[in-house]
């Protein structure tokens, strides 16, 4: 597993993008993901972790409940893996619960992602690495 990014839930993606620009981050285009029911934007800064801003587009988006409960907050860390199923099984043995089964992610050229939760670690996203 290789660290990929930090996901931050926000109600106003443009406002958050501007706020992070004050910290030296540069934003990419805003992407609509109908599967996740969100818009998102990746922010980059040399020698710093990638930040993914995530904003719900519908009331039924899981990010909406995170925002209602906590406001703008870092809510997941993402790790890139070679074999999604193998890593899911490994994490399940460590008491992680699969809460979102593997689905294609528009933001990652339809590479599959999934989300797992562990009460001691929080929410993590696994991103399937491009096989060469």
Name residue, tokens 């039924």.
60
Q: Are strands 50-56 and 2-9 parallel, antiparallel or unpaired?
A: parallel
Output the CATH code of domain 2-128.
Answer: 3.10.180.10
Per-residue pLDDT of the chain (132 residues; tens, 9 = 90+): 999 999 999 999 999 999 999 999 999 899 999 988 999 999 999 999 999 999 999 999 989 999 999 999 999 999 999 999 999 999 999 999 999 999 999 999 999 999 999 999 999 999 999 865
Q: Name the residue ranges covered by the structural domains of the chain.
A: 2-128
Chain-centroid distance, C-alpha 32: 13
Which ranges of 38-102 does DSSP label H, i.e. alpha helix? 62-70, 84-93
Report how far apart, in Å, the C-alpha atoms of 84 and of each of 4, 16, 39, 67 are.
14, 31, 24, 28
């Amino acid at each position: 597993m290789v660290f990929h990014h930090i996901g931050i839930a926000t109600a106003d993606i443009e406002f958050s993008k501007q706020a992070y620009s004050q910290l030296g981050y540069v934003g990419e285009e805003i992407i609509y993901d109908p599967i996740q029911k969100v818009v998102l934007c990746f922010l980059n800064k040399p020698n710093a972790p990638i930040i993914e801003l995530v904003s719900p587009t519908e009331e039924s988006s899981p990010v909406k409940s995170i925002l209602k409960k906590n406001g703008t907050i870092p809510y997941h860390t993402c790790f890139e893996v070679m074999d999604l199923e193998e890593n899911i099984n490994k994490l399940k043995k460590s008491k992680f619960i699969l809460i979102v089964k593997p689905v294609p992610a528009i933001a990652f050229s339809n590479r599959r992602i999934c989300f797992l939760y562990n009460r001691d670690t929080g929410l993590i996203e696994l991103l399937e690495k491009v096989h060469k």
